[in-house]
Amino acid sequence: MHPRLPRSAVAGYAAGSVGTGGFSTLPGLVLAYYLTDTLAVPALLATVVVVLPKVWDVLIDPLVGAVSDRDAASHVGRRRLMLAGALTLPVGFVGMFATPDGLGPAAAGLWVLVFFVLATTSFSCFQVPYIALPADLTQGYDERTRVMAWRIAVLALAILLVGAGGPALRDAAGGGRPGYLVMALGIAALLLAGMLATVVATRPHLRRTPSTSPGAVAGYREGLVVWREVTAYRVLLSVFVLQALATGVMLAAAQYVAAYTLGDEGALTLLFAALVAPALLVMPLWARYAASRGKPAGLGLASAIFAAASLALVGLLWLPGWWVYPVVGVAGVAYAGMQLFPLAMLPDVVTAAGRARGGAMSGLWTAGETSGLALGPVVLLLLLGATGFRSSTAGEQLAQPAAAGVAIVLAFSVVPALLVAASLLVLRRYTDPVSAGAVPDPIPGGPP
């Protein structure tokens, strides 16, 4: 038996999800729409603006993981990078939505691109060590599920507040460029508070990590070595990336579904609440299911439910209406499990592979998640560009080709369903390292 972490440590760790969830969610939800329907950036150019910062993120995440591993083996700990990321992320985030008046579409797109790159760099500095932290906090198999259940519950609340509250704040401020700036300032303060809470609250409970002192390039290579050699890690990461891509496509399409399919931009708040709010209620049930059936079984069930609910949303092509909200709510119940189980399984895999490589593994994990979430808006924008979607400025909504309307609904339904179905096929190869008898790594000078 491993000792239970005090509630202050669990709550402090969970608070970081306010920052990670908020930043991961809001740009994916509104940035493409901000570019095409407020700044009049053409869909294909908006694709470049959305994807380049994520390519940068994918490149630097494993490098940040290497630095995190080196810091974790010293007296500095992983908190140094997390603090740097927490303090600088709000600056880049606000800059993304502070585009000056008078800039043309190309210049406005470049402005957003620069600040998105800065914000993404800061996010990596916090997110990568944050993901590696649970393996440093506790060795308990069930205790990690408890920690992650609280984290995902807070994540769901944060996503709900940011994803639903952000657009509502934008609209309350009058929309357009001023509305987006007010939204960014309010959300940035929330992100900062959550991330700083984690840095402060987890400090007394971190265990020392075995020292490997990898260089940046070596750390990058180490993550790839683990991916190649450790089947459980490779399978789990592949599943998570596919599901992140599915989520990214659905979230990016939600604003367009609200505006062009349901005919009400404000419907985005209800759609988002229907997807995220169930997690606040069902998280304890998913945790109990994992305790009785195991985490992999829980992930499989949640994924199957999500795929079925997503596929049902294709009915929007023929009958847009109120029925979409309860169906999205069913997908939200499943989404809670899809968030909980991979993140609860990752510390088990990290411990089995060796916590000295935890930063490198979490760096590659974050790079994969970032790739999936980033490609979601890209898939949508490419579909819109290929079907003749017409970009516009704030306050103007142009009539769209029928093909573009079909593409929006498919991106919200069939595409996520197919991606999650593919992840289920990959998940069949996963073997739980704890059930297989993997022995946690020894910690020099620390508890066994």
Domain count, the chain: 1
The answer to the question of residue 432 being in a domain is: no
- Mean pLDDT of the 52-76 span: 76
Report pLDDT for 26.
85
340 is a domain residue: yes
Residue 58 lies in a domain: yes
Predicted confidence at residue 308, as pLDDT, reads: 96
What is the rounded distance in angstroms from the CA atom of residue 25 to the CA atom of residue 28?
A: 5
In this structure, of 14-23, 198-207, 236-245, 249-258, the range with the lowest mean pLDDT score is 198-207
Give 337's contacts (C-beta < 8 A, 6+ positions apart).
282, 286, 289, 298, 299, 301, 302, 303, 305
Does the pLDDT of residue 260 top 90, yes or no? no
Buried b / exposed e over 126-162, threshold 16 CB at 10 Å, is bbbbbbbbbbbbbbbbbbbbbbbbbbbbbbbbbbbbb
Residue 251 is encoded by which pair of tokens?
């979230």
Question: Per the domain annotation, does 67 fall within a domain?
Answer: yes
Domain membership flag for residue 61: yes
CATH number for the domain spanning 61: value is 1.20.1250.20
Of 316 and 128, the one with more pLDDT: 316
Residue 434 lies in a domain: no
In a domain, 225, yes or no: yes
Q: What is the pLDDT of residue 215?
A: 45
- Specify if 435 maps to a domain: no
Confidence of residue 243 (pLDDT cuts 50, 70, 90): very high
Residue that wins the pLDDT comparison between 404 and 219: 404
Residue corresponding to tokens 């560009």: 385
* Of 381, 278, 341, 404, residue with least CA distance to 32: 381
- Dist CA 243 CA 436 (whole Å): 25
**For helices 295-312 and 324-353, what crossing angle results, to 10°?**
150
Question: Helices 141-172 and 105-137 sit at what angle, rounded to 10 degrees?
Answer: 160
Q: How confident is the model at residue 272 (pLDDT cuts 50, 70, 90)?
A: confident
The pLDDT tens digits of the residues spanning 366-385 come to: 777 777 877 888 888 888 88
Q: Provide the residue range defining the domain that includes 62.
A: 8-198+213-427
Q: pLDDT tens for residues 122-167?
A: 998 998 888 777 766 666 666 767 777 788 778 778 877 887 788 8
Contact 141/4 with Cβ under 8 angstroms? no
Three-state SS at 363: helix
Q: For residue 423, what are its two tokens?
A: 């992840």
- Range ranked top by mean pLDDT from 209-223, 234-248, 271-285, 428-442: 234-248
Grade residue 321 by pLDDT with cuts at 50, 70 and 90.
confident
pLDDT in the model for residue 211: 46
CA–CA dist 187, 163 (Å, integer): 10
| More confident call, 227 vs 234 | 234
Cβ atoms of 433 and 233 within 8 Å: the answer is no
How remote is the C-alpha of 275 from its chain's centroid? Answer: 14
> In the predicted model, what is the mean pLDDT of residues 204-217?
48
Count of residues for the chain? 448
